[in-house]
A and B are shown apart, each in its own frame.
Chain A
Amino acid sequence: MLDELEKGPWPSHVTELKKGQYPIKAYARGLGEGLSPWFGGSARIRCEFTGFIARRTKDGQQTEVHFRIYHPSGQFYRTDELRKLLDFCDKFGLGSVETVGQTGDLVMPIQPELADQAVDELRALGTDIGGTGDTFRDSAACVGPALCEYALFDSLAARDYFFRYPAFYEKLASQPFPFKIKLKFSACPMDCARAAHRADFAFVGLWEGAPEVDPTALRAKVEAGEVSGKDLAARCPGKAIRWNSSTQELSIDGAKCKKSMNCIRQAFPAIKPGPNRKIAFMMGGHSKGRSGPKMAKPVALLDDWKSAAEFMDRVMAHWSDRSPHKDRLGDLLVEEGFEKVVDQFKEHLPVEPAGHVVGAPRIVNSSVLTDQERETFAAWADAIAREYEG
Chain B
Amino acid sequence: MSPTPASSAEVRAPTYRLKKNVPVPYTQNLPDIVRRNIGHWTDRKYHGTGIIEHISDTGDHLFTVKAGATPNARFSTETLRKFAQIADDQGLGSLRFTRSGSVEILADSLERALAVKKAVEEIGFFVGGWGHTLWSVNSCTSYLTCTTAVVDAPSITQALYDQMVPYFTGEIPLPAKLRINVAGCPTACGGLVADIMLAGHYGAAPSYDPDKIRLCLPTNAKVLSHVVPEVQMVCPVNAIESFARPDGSVGINIIEKKCIGCGRCKDVCDHITWDPSKVGVSVLIGGKSSNTGVGPTLARVLVPWIPVRPPKYREPVAVVRKIIDVWRAGAKPGERVADYVNRVGMKTVFEALKVPVGLWNRPAELNTGFGVREFLPR
Interface flags, B242-266, vs A, CB<8A=1, else 0: 0000000000000010011111100
Nearest CB to that of A359 among chain B residues?
B367
Question: In the complex, which residues of chain B have a beta carbon less than 8 angstroms from the beta carbon of A389?
Answer: 318
Given A95-B77, A366-B262, also A79-B95 (CB < 8 A): yes
Q: Which of B76, B236, B300 contacts A363 (CB 8 A)?
A: B300
Further pairs besides A78-B93, A127-B21, A269-B42: 14, Cβ < 8 Å: A5-B155, A16-B75, A34-B151, A34-B308, A119-B14, A190-B292, A194-B99, A196-B372, A204-B371, A258-B376, A259-B372, A377-B303, A381-B315, A381-B319
Measured in the bound complex, the distance between the Cα atoms of B155 and A12 in whole Å is 9
Tell me the chain B residues, 155-205 only, with Cβ under 8 Å from chain A.
Answer: 155, 158-159, 161-162, 165, 184, 186-193, 197, 199, 201-205
Given A16-B75, A172-B20, also A53-B189 (CB < 8 A): no
Q: Which of B17, B79, B334 contacts A19 (CB 8 A)?
A: B79
10 residue pairs from A and B, CB less than 8 Å apart: A31-B152, A34-B308, A189-B291, A192-B289, A258-B373, A259-B372, A356-B378, A365-B201, A366-B263, A368-B202
Tell whether, in the assembled complex, residue A46 and residue B20 are in contact, meaning their CB atoms are under 8 Å apart. no
Q: Does A133 contact B (CB under 8 A)?
A: no
Tell me the chain B residues, 274-293 only, with Cβ under 8 Å from chain A.
Answer: 276-280, 282, 284, 289-293
Given A11-B124, A36-B142, A190-B292, also A83-B375 (CB < 8 A): no
Q: Which of A9, A66, A325 contacts B162 (CB 8 A)?
A: A9
Tell me the chain A residues, 15-42 only, with Cβ under 8 Å from chain B.
Answer: 15-17, 19-20, 22, 27, 30-31, 33-40
What is the distance, in angstroms, from A153's C-beta to the closest C-beta of chain B? 10
Nearest CB to that of B11 among chain A residues?
A46
Nearest CB to that of A51 among chain B residues?
B20
How many residues does chain A have at the interface if contact means C-beta atoms less than 8 Å apart?
161
Tell whether, in the assembled complex, residue B103 and residue A149 are in contact, meaning their CB atoms are under 8 Å apart. no
Q: Does B13 contact A (CB under 8 A)?
A: yes
Nearest CB to that of B185 among chain A residues?
A366
Q: Does A298 contact B (CB under 8 A)?
A: yes
Nearest CB to that of A288 among chain B residues?
B187
What is the distance, in angstroms, from A99's C-beta to the closest C-beta of chain B? 4
Interface pick from B109-117, B218-226, B353-361: B353-361
Q: Does B347 contact A (CB under 8 A)?
A: no
Q: Does B369 contact A (CB under 8 A)?
A: yes
What is the distance, in angstroms, from B327's C-beta to the closest C-beta of chain A? 15
Tell whether, in the assembled complex, residue A380 and residue B96 are in contact, meaning their CB atoms are under 8 Å apart. no
Measured in the bound complex, the distance between the Cα atoms of B147 and A142 in whole Å is 29
Tell whether, in the assembled complex, residue A75 and residue B72 are in contact, meaning their CB atoms are under 8 Å apart. no
What is the distance, in angstroms, from B373's C-beta to the closest C-beta of chain A? 6
Tell whether, in the assembled complex, residue A194 and residue B193 are in contact, meaning their CB atoms are under 8 Å apart. yes
Q: Does B296 contact A (CB under 8 A)?
A: yes
Q: Does B119 contact A (CB under 8 A)?
A: no
Question: In the complex, which residues of chain B have a beta carbon less than 8 angstroms from the beta carbon of A192?
Answer: 99, 289-290
Tell whether, in the assembled complex, residue B76 and residue A19 are in contact, meaning their CB atoms are under 8 Å apart. yes
Residue from the set B152, B184, B199, B264 with the largest chain A CB neighbour count within 10 Å? B152
Tell whether, in the assembled complex, residue B292 and residue A8 are in contact, meaning their CB atoms are under 8 Å apart. no
Q: Which of A103, A296, A360, A387 contacts B322 (CB 8 A)?
A: A387
Question: In the complex, which residues of chain A have a beta carbon less than 8 angstroms from the beta carbon of B358?
Answer: 369, 373, 376
Tell whether, in the assembled complex, residue B371 and residue A117 are in contact, meaning their CB atoms are under 8 Å apart. no
Interface pick from A154-162, A242-250, A305-313: A154-162
Tell whether, in the assembled complex, residue B99 and residue A196 are in contact, meaning their CB atoms are under 8 Å apart. no
